[in-house]
Amino acid sequence: MIDYDGKRFRPLGADEGESGRTAVYHQSGDLLWGEFSGGDARRGTLTGVCGPDGALDFAYCVVLTDGAVVSGACRSTPELLGDGRVRLTEHWQRFGENADSGQGLLEEIPSTAAGSRGPEKEAER
């Protein structure tokens, strides 16, 4: 099983709203949680579980810069890259008035590039 605790991710091929978004994941056993911010996300959280194969199933909620509150669910499937980092293929579903679904890619930020500004610091800006 992949240990996601402390790993940081950013979207690949991000649209304007996701550009600059970063996420940090935490894990204890199969329990997974995290927070993200940047781009059009003022602050977001996720909570779910990690399967034995490293696949993630979680719910998310985010407050956007325009004040909208968005929630949904996501299934992320991991791929180990040649340098040991993780790439996640996300299949997401958004609920509510602006319901939608789609697919995206997240890639682990190398620890040397993660820097000291995590999502919690970005939210304070």
13 confidence band (pLDDT: 50, 70, 90): confident
Q: Is the pLDDT of residue 110 over 50?
A: yes
DSSP state of 95: -
Q: Is the pLDDT of residue 116 over 80?
A: no
Over the stretch 44-57, which tens digit does the pLDDT of each residue have? 999 999 999 999 99
Pick from 90, 91, 86, 92: which is nearest to 61 by CA? 92
pTM: 0.84
Over the stretch 62-93, which tens digit does the pLDDT of each residue have? 999 999 999 999 999 999 999 999 999 999 99
Quick check: helix, strand or coil at residue 37? strand
The residue among 95 and 16 whose pLDDT is bigger is 95
Q: How far apart are CA 29 and CA 35, in angstroms?
A: 18
Beta-carbon neighbour count of residue 94 at 10 Å? 17
Residues in the chain: 125
Task: Name, in order, each residue with C-beta under 8 angstroms of 80's C-beta and a sequence gap of 6 or more.
Answer: 2, 86
Q: What is the mean predicted confidence (pLDDT) over 92-110?
A: 95
Percent of the chain clearing pLDDT 70 (strictly above): 85
Q: How far apart are CA 44 and CA 119, in angstroms?
A: 9
Q: Is the pLDDT of residue 8 over 70?
A: yes
